Chain A
Amino acid sequence: MKVVLQNLTKKFPGRDRKKQEYVIAVNDFNFEIPDGKLIGLLGPSGCGKSTTLNLISGLLKPTSGRIFFGEDDVTDLPPENRGIGLVFQNYALYPHLTVKKNILFPLENLKGKDKLSKSEMLEKAYAAARLVQIEELMDRKPGELSGGQQQRVAIARALVKMPRVLLLDEPLSNLDARLRLQTREEIRRIQRETKITTIFVTHDQEEAMSISDMIVVMKAGIVQQIGRPQEVYDNPANLFVARFLGTPPINVFEGQVRNHKLYIGEDEVSGIRGVENQKVWVGIRPEGFVPDENGPLCCRLSGVEVMGRDISVVSTHESSCSPAVRSIISTENRVDTEKETVRFSLKPGKVFIFHRETEERIMGELI
């Protein structure tokens, strides 16, 4: 099922009721989620991603704008009529019911022509349980399960009615690191098997990047960029997106463009085409550095961390916006740790420049 958001806006009344001020949680969203894909809504806390999810689920009503599931305008439909499955951050499993009863719960609500017989319900419940691999836990209560198992039960409960759209609110944030890795693969697999359009919310960029078909990066109620994870990573629309994606994060320097040349501090690092003279931010991905005796960028070396496959070089540069410049280089390269400085040349595709004030990406070709 395709999901389309059209000019979607949600305002909340501000703290001070008398002032009639509003907090805009979601500001004029427009995007189309293709059928059968896994979409990650990504952003720092308070960016409006959960509000967006609640708008899609129908738990919140938008202030303006429309929501379509396929061709149906569902904007004013109550959640129960939208055909969605929702998984909560804390799972919201009913503690007094067994796993089986939890999964059966949505089915028992069906009325009229949709009503199922007892055996049909059980069949569906077991099918959902099989899908998330919890069949052997059906008679336990949620309190007796681990976090990961609870998560699976919650997904099974959301899937048992075969929703048109599956929504997951921070599905992994209550799990420990090891389970997180495992569960995200699990979500990917379940989504592939069911082919249900799935939207999940997360603040963890790695999580979103690793399993999504498409990510939507948000900040302060405004969509920053939409695209396939790799596309967004390789082509960030602005400084915020560039900084938000990638670990270790992108290195940002104060720089300027003068006469078709790009400077970081006083180092001329590259030629550039198509950009007028101005002050800019220069973002360089950690993997964009190549150690080079004659490279244009000179940094003060502060440490080298060998991480098996890669080497992480930590250095400083006076034009850097953060105290440390982090670069990742492959072990084939050698860095002389005895020296005080290290020189790098840069990979053109890993260097982005941004406007000093608007922080929007400036498209220019490094030569």
Chain B
Amino acid sequence: MDNRVDYAKIEKTAKIRRTVINVVTYTFLALWAVMVLFPFYWMLLTSVKSYSAYNSEYIPKFFTLSPTLKNYVDAFTAVPLARYFANTVLFTVLTTAIMLVVITLAAFAFARLEFRGKNIAFLIFLSLMMIPNELVIITNFVTITDWNMRNTFPGLILPSVTSVFYIYLLKENFEQIPDSLYYAAKVDGTSDIRYLLKVMIPISKPTLITITILKVIECWNSYVWPRLITDDENYYLVSNGIQEIRENGFGRENIPAMMAAVVVISVPLIVLFLIFRKKIMAGVSRGGTKG
């Protein structure tokens, strides 16, 4: 019966090893979670510290006993944060809405309609996917300047209302709808546009929602183009606003107020994310890279 003793030992070491591996794994994961969350905590914390309290802490404190909302008031009054905010919302909504129309029409043409030159047109579209934004932005800047559209919404919006990638994504989705539906609708005398609106769009709603969310994230965070095209504060978006605040806002040193502004512009997307967590993550893994 020597064997049994041996087995008991194997069992025990296996158990201990599992526990050790578990502890190491969780510690490691928790460590990264802290790394991710800490900046958020710090920005919230700093945003509720009073100006004087913050500046008197030579050694920063990890908590505050006298939280204040004054910084938030400052953020909205001392700098036109509300204006940046409204601009961004307007920019995001308009860009996303126009883009959805443009890409839906194009995807419908590619997926459903038959016309001469379709394949070659699609090939050209696909190859456009490889063109990086940085290469075309120079001419776009000159174009918009020539059109006298600097510091206008059309100037901000127009260059980013098409996305070849989203056309591609939507086309793939449209193509999965069985042809028989289309023929059935044709027999009933449904026009193409009606078929698109009443059948294809409702069926492809999940993909459209994913695209919408991804585009909203992109718009909300866009920085480079708005920076090039606007130098009038009235047209700043939040990213440019925050940079402006940093450079000439509350006076360089009012960091708590700055953090309050940061919190305010970060919250909408985080809320959106928490609501649509699964959709966003699925959408991003299907083909979104940041930027």
Contact = CB atoms under 8 A, between A and B. Distances in A.
- 7 nearest A-B pairs in the assembled complex, by CB-CB distance: A76-B11, A78-B14, A81-B10, A72-B3, A77-B7, A77-B11, A77-B10
17 contacts: A71-B3, A72-B3, A72-B4, A72-B7, A73-B4, A73-B7, A74-B7, A76-B7, A76-B11, A77-B7, A77-B10, A77-B11, A78-B10, A78-B11, A78-B14, A81-B7, A81-B10
A73 B3 CA distance: 9
Nearest to B7: A77
Interface residues of A, number: 8
A74 B11 CA distance: 10
Nearest to A71: B3
Contacts of B7: 72-74, 76-77, 81
Interface residues of B, number: 6
Given A73-B7, A74-B7, 5 more contacts: A72-B7, A77-B7, A77-B10, A77-B11, A78-B14
The main secondary structure of chain B at its interface with chain A is: helix
B107 to A, nearest CB: 34
A134 B5 CA distance: 41
Nearest to B18: A78
A253 B4 CA distance: 54
Interface string B4-27: 100100110010000000000000
Contacts of A76: 7, 11
B139 to A, nearest CB: 46
The main secondary structure of chain A at its interface with chain B is: loop
Interface of A: 71-74, 76-78, 81
Nearest to B1: A71
Contacts of B14: 78
A72 B1 CA distance: 9
Nearest to A82: B7
A81 B4 CA distance: 13
B45 to A, nearest CB: 36
B251 to A, nearest CB: 55
Contacts of B3: 71-72
A291 B77 CA distance: 103
B225 to A, nearest CB: 44
Nearest to A77: B7
Nearest to B10: A81
B21 to A, nearest CB: 13
A77 B4 CA distance: 11
A117 to B, nearest CB: 25
Nearest to B15: A76
Contacts of A78: 10-11, 14
B8 to A, nearest CB: 8
Nearest to A78: B14
A249 to B, nearest CB: 38
A71 B3 CA distance: 9
Contacts of A74: 7
A78 B10 CA distance: 9
Interface in B1-57: 3-4, 7, 10-11, 14
A102 B14 CA distance: 26
Nearest to A72: B3
A58 B143 CA distance: 69
Contacts of A77: 7, 10-11
Contacts of A73: 4, 7
